[in-house]
Structure 1
């Protein structure tokens, strides 16, 4: 009896090596693997309806710059840094949007609270709305670090790579941004509570 070994998914390092050698299927696998997080990053950093374009442009740039990728960080971190840069370029090229657009948080809560589940949904919607309002009031760089660390759940090192900031800046800005966000959320609670 012959035992069939399960196929082990190729890691990013192997796929990058193959893509550098001209293997387009390997790059397609990288694109498929990282599109969701790249898209989420673009949305959370404020690209809004331009998120798909940002992600597409980021993947094109990443492919062109693949020879420069040294593997010091994960491919994901490197790619998200490109997405963040493309999003910043978008912000520079158009008039500054009023804050961060979070599609997931833009859902309007149900106004009828007939049952416990509906009450919970309304409260969750109100909390999301308050969080979005507070995030929109933060300076752009504070918002970027909060999005990377807590919405995208990037590690400190991945945040360093994604934003291109020194580790100390990421640490201090995260701490200060969280403190500012807490104050803003407290104000929102008092104002709308």
Structure 2
């Protein structure tokens, strides 16, 4: 694959495009998620020579997606063309779930969306993209200790927010 074998790369794209799109949406790309993924895939292809042989492809690609999404969100802020809600992750809700499950999931996604970016990113990687600690550290470009501490703080904040919402209702 490192030599630029287009067929091998196409197979990787087919295998990882779905998770990359989900990651872009969850990181805040919103309606621009498909563009972010396309740009990320092009950048990944151009950077194949720097891909470490034997390393997992998915975290490497998702790191590119996270960086591209971050750049998009920053440029939105500089342009002032969108409101903060436009940068929030889109809800990904299972239509077969019961109304109570859908409401709880929407509440959880809303609470995640309200987290500071660094906390939202680590929760997204670990729980919504189902990456392990090492993969999360790779995607976000952080040391594993930082992943652990930020995840702990994010979960504490989420628990408090969700408990507060439960008492308000």
Aligned residues: 163
Structure 2 distance, partners of 1:141, 1:105, is 23
Q: Give yes or no for the alignment of 1:100 onto 2:88.
A: yes
Stretches (4+) displaced over 6 A: none
Query: Equivalences for 1:110-129 in 2 at 5 Å?
Result: 121-129=98-106
Query: Gaps spanning 5+ residues in structure 2: where?
Result: 78-82
CA RMSD, Structure 1 to Structure 2 (Å)? 1.9
Cα distance change, pair 125–62 in 1 and its aligned pair in 2 (3 A): same
Asked if 1 retains the 8 angstrom alpha-carbon contact of 2:91 and 2:109, the reply is no
Q: TM-score, normalised by structure 1?
A: 0.79
In structure 1, the partner of 2:164 is: 187
Distance apart, 1:63 and its partner CA = 0.5
Deviations 1:154-184 (A, max 9, x none): 0000000000001110011011100100000
Q: TM-score, normalised by structure 2?
A: 0.89
Deviations 1:7-54 (A, max 9, x none): xxxxxxxxx2xxx32321111111111101111111111111111001
Deviations 1:78-124 (A, max 9, x none): 000000000100111102633532331497xxxxxxxxx9xx71111
In structure 1, the partner of 2:110 is: 133
Asked if 1 retains the 8 angstrom alpha-carbon contact of 2:4 and 2:48, the reply is no
Q: Which has the higher contact order (CA 8 A, sep 6+)?
A: 2
What secondary structure does 1:179 align onto? helix
